[in-house]
């Protein structure tokens, strides 16, 4: 059931999945599977674009004081049915030697913010003082998102050059790098003085998680296109042309993400539970549908597109390249398999899912799920409203030790199965670096800092708490309460509270010891990024990745036109048609 | 400086972690400070005064002096309520859940008004609570009574100036908690205006209004406390080495 109004987001909703059961936690929450997820209809970029298109948001270019080299100030006004916002962007010269993907950089090609209400001159000057400084500046609660971006060296200049010469940029180049700008941080929820999330949580526009951040990135995409067209026109007013709309739609925004994102998944398990639960609910609902010929044909088309999209996804990372090749081959096998099926009166999608689980890689399994979800918007799209969660963790102090020990044994068996006497299981440690306080991963015994570990070692903490609880129970009896135990052993309060809270959820805990030497942080990053809706995963190491957002999304000028929300996994426009 | 609630919470958590608070306790302590600040009752200022003691004195573990099924007495050994308040409230909660009513008294603790935020957390789990304590604020004694109903977000707080200068409660630096899932303890005005002068009444709607103001505008925190907390949180950080930089960690952030 949908809520009657969006004035209030339920704390931990669990909509009905239908006749098909949700997949088991132990299968879904394996780190490798989470690291194989793809975006879907309920990813945040899809949701925010649907909302903007459905509600006909108005975006006006209010100021474009950009010089012939692209430097200056731009302001876009956004009018939604609920509020007025302004997107303020400062573009500045950046010495190429300072251009860096690292979060510890302190200069960017452009810095920008999404602000509530109109930005007058006085406010603009305050923003000009602070936004380009990012972490070193201070904003106030009228700013809801703060971000910065670097130009793609490979694309920016050549696109300006092409447009100024009256040519369209080559789509093959955009297929290689699908953006003009790449963000390195998109800050929300109170960072550096901006508005806390609870301020906007009940807002119709940006109440859902990360929707304000994603919309801000979308506006950067629009600016990036206007900016290259502007520079080209200034450079060669006689010959310059505007970019073909097909190319504009094929441009996204890049993002470079590293370990900073990883702790989020551990410290927000109720939110992660909600995201995974909604995705699994969508999968279960759709797998429970009876197939028909039209939808089978549509799925075949989507799989072909997914395969083509993957063929057009490049990466220097050998592992990702191999995975992409496998994905393409297996999608072709899926096409063959499906073409031999008669859809009528069958749960064909369930059969496909079962077949995929038995025969194909995790990436293929999860992409097929994302594509099946595309077939039933009316069964899926409402789930976007349930992607929020309140991260409250309460102790159950009167729970008996017997009961708590049972909960650990049944819900954290995966943690108890880890042998922490094996040094390989504690080879890694997470710490917070003094350099801009970003999280990092060290090797125990080789690097300093394991005396100041971040508490991301959920499995090890559970093991230690379990051993202490069993010992205490043996001494004082199983009816002893948790609070009595904690008054003697207060150091276990955090993990016990987490165990008690998460035992009431299905998909909150990632079932992997994050200290193990074979743990790949990339899986954590990709999991979160897939819920954003990222495509074109391009790992630069096991610890950071470049991705693309909004590639294929409609343009601002498409608002008001018929919109069929069919831009997942876009493929390159035909170069013959675009370039000629 | 103006900061967000999320920033203050994060910084306090790391500062308490830097002070050696165990996992679970550093989150609770931070939440207690921020709750009071968010509701206009000077959480950060209370923390500022507590920091001297928290950073300079060796802490002694609290002990249980007396206990039966519905009564508990905890000796906080001169520590801040930040170190013992949450578990004391949880003890009151657990006993009340089992026996219908409980009384827990914490002796010899400081910063007792920080307790209010934790009471609100217990209330959302279906418990009615009341806390009562007296502060000696030379030359007067201030009596504070706070109560919150089960499932409600905000308490009611009454503050009185008391003429009784020789008060055992004040000297004991104690706080008394009463909990029951069955009935709430409603405050009434002190029956003898000669003995007690009502200083302040903060009603649930006042708490809510103040909280909403903070969401709208953020919080104002004095620079010196902010940087002191930064310094304490710095104890949890690890200096980067050339090797760690080269390893490629840290690019990008949420």
Q: Nearest residue of A to residue B62 by CA position? A: A487
A257/chain B closest Cα distance in angstroms: 4
B176/chain A closest Cα distance in angstroms: 18
| Residue A225 contacts residue A179 (beta carbons within 8 Å) | no
For the ranges A299-303, A354-358, B170-174, the lowest mean pLDDT is seen at B170-174
Of B190, B107, B176, B106, the closest CA to residue B147 belongs to: B176
Residues of B in contact with A452 (CB under 8 A): 235-238
Q: How many helices (H) and strands (E) does chain A have?
A: 23, 11
pLDDT at position A344, please? Answer: 81
Distance between CA B81 and CA B105 in Å, rounded? 12
pLDDT band at A65 (very low <50, low <70, confident <90, very high): very high
Structure tokens at A476: 């004082």
pLDDT band at A98 (very low <50, low <70, confident <90, very high): confident
B60 and chain A in contact, CB less than 8 A:
no
* Cβ-defined contact of B240 to A394 (cutoff 8 Å): no
Contacts of A567 (CB under 8 A, 6+ apart): A49, A249, A552, A553, A554
Pairs from A561-565 (Cβ < 8 Å, separation ≥ 24) = A563/A50, A563/A53, A563/A54, A565/A41, A565/A46, A565/A49, A565/A50, A565/A53, A565/A377
Burial class (CB in 10 A: 0-12, 13-18, 19+), A351: middle
The pLDDT mean for chain B works out to: 90
A266/chain B closest Cα distance in angstroms: 13
3-state secondary structure of A14: coil
pLDDT at position A104, please? Answer: 64
Whether the per-residue pLDDT at B254 is higher than 70: the answer is no
Taking residue A333's Cβ as centre, other Cβ atoms within 10 Å add up to: 15
- For chain B positions 13-32, those within 8 Å of chain A (CB to CB) are 22-25, 27-28
B35 and chain A in contact, CB less than 8 A:
no
3-state secondary structure of A538: strand
Terminus-to-terminus CA distance in chain B, angstroms? 24
* Cβ-defined contact of B250 to A184 (cutoff 8 Å): no
Mean pLDDT for the stretch of residues B128-144: 87
Residue among A392, A449, A483 whose CB faces B91 most closely: A483
**pLDDT tens track for B53-93:** 888 767 788 899 999 999 999 999 988 999 999 999 999 99
CA B159 to chain centre: 16
Element (H, E) at A539: strand A535-539
Distance between CA A95 and CA A105 in Å, rounded? 12
Mean pLDDT for the stretch of residues A243-250: 97
B126 and chain A in contact, CB less than 8 A:
no
For the ranges A288-302, A422-436, A494-508, B167-181, the lowest mean pLDDT is seen at B167-181
In Å, how far are A50, A309, A348, A406, A570 from A564, measured between CA atoms? Answer: 9, 19, 24, 49, 14
Taking residue B10's Cβ as centre, other Cβ atoms within 10 Å add up to: 18
Element (H, E) at A72: strand A72-79
Structure tokens at A338: 């499906």
Mean pLDDT for the stretch of residues A511-540: 96
Distance between CA A568 and CA B140 in Å, rounded? 69
pLDDT at position A100, please? Answer: 74
pLDDT at position B94, please? Answer: 97
- For chain A positions 242-301, those within 8 Å of chain B (CB to CB) are 255-261, 264
pLDDT band at B166 (very low <50, low <70, confident <90, very high): low
A203: region left, alpha or beta (phi > 0 left; psi from -120 to 50 alpha): beta
Residues of B in contact with A189 (CB under 8 A): 4, 6
Mean pLDDT for the stretch of residues A141-168: 95
pLDDT at position A1, please? Answer: 39
pLDDT at position B247, please? Answer: 64
Whether the per-residue pLDDT at A317 is higher than 70: the answer is yes
Distance between CA A368 and CA B124 in Å, rounded? 42
A115/chain B closest Cα distance in angstroms: 13
pLDDT band at B95 (very low <50, low <70, confident <90, very high): very high
pLDDT at position A444, please? Answer: 95
Residue among B6, B22, B253 whose CB faces A103 most closely: B253
pLDDT band at B187 (very low <50, low <70, confident <90, very high): confident
* Cβ-defined contact of A258 to B253 (cutoff 8 Å): yes
pLDDT at position A11, please? Answer: 65
Distance between CA A77 and CA B120 in Å, rounded? 41
3-state secondary structure of A112: strand
Maximum Cα interatomic distance, chain B, rounded to a whole number of Å = 72
Residues facing residue B3 across a β-bridge: B219
Mean pLDDT for the stretch of residues A360-377: 98
Taking residue A56's Cβ as centre, other Cβ atoms within 10 Å add up to: 11
B167/chain A closest Cα distance in angstroms: 29
Mean pLDDT for the stretch of residues A227-249: 98
A184 and chain B in contact, CB less than 8 A:
yes
* Cβ-defined contact of A483 to B90 (cutoff 8 Å): yes
Terminus-to-terminus CA distance in chain A, angstroms? 51
The pLDDT mean for chain A works out to: 94
Strand B219-220 and strand B2-3: the pairing is antiparallel
Residue ranges with strand state E in B27-112: 63-67, 71-80, 102-110
Q: Nearest residue of B to residue A480 by CA position? A: B94
Whether the per-residue pLDDT at A7 is higher than 80: the answer is no
Distance between CA B67 and CA B73 in Å, rounded? 6
Task: Report CA torsion sign: A552, A557, A559, A560.
Answer: negative
Task: Report CA torsion sign: A160, A161, A165, A171.
Answer: negative
- State the number of CA atoms in the 13 A half-sphere of B236 facing the CB: 30
pLDDT at position A19, please? Answer: 87
Residue ranges with strand state E in A92-216: 110-116, 143-151, 179-187
3-state secondary structure of A224: helix
Mean pLDDT for the stretch of residues A73-80: 98
- For chain A positions 397-456, those within 8 Å of chain B (CB to CB) are 397-398, 431-442, 447-449, 452, 455
Structure tokens at A331: 């999608």
**pLDDT tens track for A111-151:** 999 999 999 999 999 999 999 999 999 999 999 999 999 99
Element (H, E) at A252: strand A252-257
Distance between CA A271 and CA B101 in Å, rounded? 35
B64 and chain A in contact, CB less than 8 A:
yes
Residues of A in contact with B86 (CB under 8 A): 493
Whether the per-residue pLDDT at A105 is higher than 80: the answer is no
Residue with tokens 């609630």: B5
Mean pLDDT for the stretch of residues A472-479: 97
Whether the per-residue pLDDT at B243 is higher than 90: the answer is no
Distance between CA B175 and CA B115 in Å, rounded? 9
Whether the per-residue pLDDT at A157 is higher than 50: the answer is yes
In Å, how far are B85, B157, B175 from B207, measured between CA atoms? Answer: 21, 10, 22
Taking residue B133's Cβ as centre, other Cβ atoms within 10 Å add up to: 24
Q: Residues for chain A: how many in total?
A: 580
B181 and chain A in contact, CB less than 8 A:
no
Distance between CA A214 and CA A144 in Å, rounded? 12
pLDDT band at A40 (very low <50, low <70, confident <90, very high): very high
pLDDT band at A6 (very low <50, low <70, confident <90, very high): very low
Distance between CA A536 and CA A551 in Å, rounded? 9
Residues of A in contact with B251 (CB under 8 A): 101-103, 184, 256-259, 540, 543-544
Residue among A102, A449, A491 whose CB faces B251 most closely: A102
* Cβ-defined contact of A540 to B87 (cutoff 8 Å): no
Chain pair A-B, CB pairs under 8 angstroms: 197
Distance between CA A280 and CA A366 in Å, rounded? 11
B91 and chain A in contact, CB less than 8 A:
yes
Mean pLDDT for the stretch of residues A538-559: 94
B121 and chain A in contact, CB less than 8 A:
yes
Using alpha carbons only, give the angle A425, A430, A433 rounded to the nearest 5 degrees.
155
């Amino acid at each position: 059931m949908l809520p009657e109004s969006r004035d209030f987001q339920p704390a931990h909703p669990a909509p009905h999945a239908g006749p098909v059961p949700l997949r088991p936690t132990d299968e879904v929450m394996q780190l490798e599977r989470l690291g194989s997820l793809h975006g879907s209809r309920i990813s945040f970029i899809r949701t925010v674009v649907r909302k903007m298109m459905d509600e006909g948001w108005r975006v006006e270019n209010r100021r474009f004081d950009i010089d012939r080299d692209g430097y200056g100030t731009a302001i876009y006004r956004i009018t939604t049915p609920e509020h007025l916002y302004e997107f303020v962007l400062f573009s500045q010269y950046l010495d190429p030697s300072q251009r860096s993907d690292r979060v510890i950089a302190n200069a960017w090609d452009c810095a920008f913010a999404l602000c509530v209400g109109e930005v007058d001159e006085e406010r603009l000057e305050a923003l000009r003082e602070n936004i380009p400084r990012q972490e070193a500046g201070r904003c106030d609660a009228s700013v809801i998102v703060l971000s910065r971006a670097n130009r793609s060296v490979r694309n920016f200049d050549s696109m300006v050059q092409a447009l100024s010469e009256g040519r369209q940029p080559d789509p093959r180049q955009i297929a290689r790098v699908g953006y003009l700008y790449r963000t390195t941080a998109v800050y929300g929820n109170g960072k550096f003085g901006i508005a806390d999330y609870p301020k906007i949580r009940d807002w119709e526009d940006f109440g859902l998680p990360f929707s304000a951040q994603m919309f801000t990135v979308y506006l950067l995409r629009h600016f990036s296109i206007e900016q290259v067209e502007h520079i080209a026109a200034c450079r060669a007013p006689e010959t310059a042309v505007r970019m073909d709309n097909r190319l504009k739609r094929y441009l996204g925004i890049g993002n470079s993400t590293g370990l900073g994102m990883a702790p989020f998944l551990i410290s927000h398990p109720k939110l992660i539970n909600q995201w995974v639960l909604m995705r699994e609910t969508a999968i279960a609902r759709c797998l429970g549908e009876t197939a028909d010929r039209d939808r089978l044909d549509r799925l075949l088309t989507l799989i072909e597109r997914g395969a083509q999209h993957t063929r057009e996804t490049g990466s220097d990372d050998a592992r990702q390249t191999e995975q992409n090749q496998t994905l393409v081959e297996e999608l072709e096998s899926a096409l063959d398999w499906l073409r031999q099926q008669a859809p009528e009166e069958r749960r064909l999608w369930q059969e496909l899912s079962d077949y995929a689980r038995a025969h194909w890689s995790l990436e293929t399994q999860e992409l097929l799920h994302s594509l099946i979800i595309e077939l039933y918007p009316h069964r899926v799209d409402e789930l976007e409203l349930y992607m929020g969660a309140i991260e409250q963790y309460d102790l159950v102090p009167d729970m008996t030790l017997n009961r708590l020990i049972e909960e650990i044994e049944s819900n954290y068996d995966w943690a108890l199965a880890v042998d922490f006497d094996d040094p390989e299981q504690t080879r890694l440690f997470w710490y917070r670096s003094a350099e801009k306080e970003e999280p990092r991963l060290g090797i125990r015994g080789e690097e300093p800092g394991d005396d100041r570990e971040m508490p991301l070692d959920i499995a090890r903490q559970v093991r230690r708490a379990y051993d202490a609880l069993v010992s205490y129970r043996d001494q004082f009896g199983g009816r002893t309460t948790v609070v009595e135990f904690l008054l003697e052993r207060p150091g276990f309060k955090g993990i016990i509270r987490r165990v008690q809270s998460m035992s009431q959820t299905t998909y909150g805990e990632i079932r992997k010891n994050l200290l193990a030497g074979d743990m790949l942080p990339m899986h954590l990053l990709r999991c979160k990024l897939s819920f954003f809706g990222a495509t074109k995963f391009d790992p630069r190491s096991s610890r950071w990745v470049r991705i693309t957002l909004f590639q294929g999304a409609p343009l601002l000028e498409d608002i008001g036109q018929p919109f069929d929300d069919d831009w997942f996994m876009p493929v390159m426009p035909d170069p013959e048609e675009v370039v000629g | 400086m103006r900061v967000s609630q999320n920033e203050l919470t994060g910084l306090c958590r790391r500062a308490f972690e830097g002070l050696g608070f165990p996992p679970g306790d550093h989150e609770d302590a931070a939440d207690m400070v921020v709750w009071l600040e968010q509701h206009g009752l000077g959480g950060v200022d209370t923390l500022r005064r507590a920091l001297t003691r928290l950073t300079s004195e060796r802490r002694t573990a609290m002990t249980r002096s007396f206990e039966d099924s519905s009564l508990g007495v905890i000796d906080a050994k001169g520590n801040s309520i930040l170190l013992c308040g949450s578990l004391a409230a949880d003890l009151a909660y657990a006993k009340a859940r089992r026996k219908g009513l409980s009384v827990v008294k914490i002796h010899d603790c400081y910063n007792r008004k920080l307790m209010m935020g934790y009471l609100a957390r217990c209330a959302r789990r279906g418990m009615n609570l009341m806390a009562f304590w007296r502060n000696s604020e030379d030359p007067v004694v201030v009596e504070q009574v706070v109560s919150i109903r089960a499932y409600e977000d905000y308490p009611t707080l009454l503050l009185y100036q008391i003429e009784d200068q020789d008060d055992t409660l004040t000297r004991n630096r104690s706080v008394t908690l009463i909990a029951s899932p069955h009935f709430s303890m409603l405050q009434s005005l002190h029956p003898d205006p000669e003995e007690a002068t009502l200083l302040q009444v903060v009603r649930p709607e006042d708490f809510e209004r103040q909280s909403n103001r903070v969401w709208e505008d953020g919080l104002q925190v004095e620079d010196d406390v902010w940087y002191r907390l930064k310094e304490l949180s710095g104890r949890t950080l690890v200096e980067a080495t050339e090797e760690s930089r080269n390893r490629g960690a840290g690019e990008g952030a949420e």
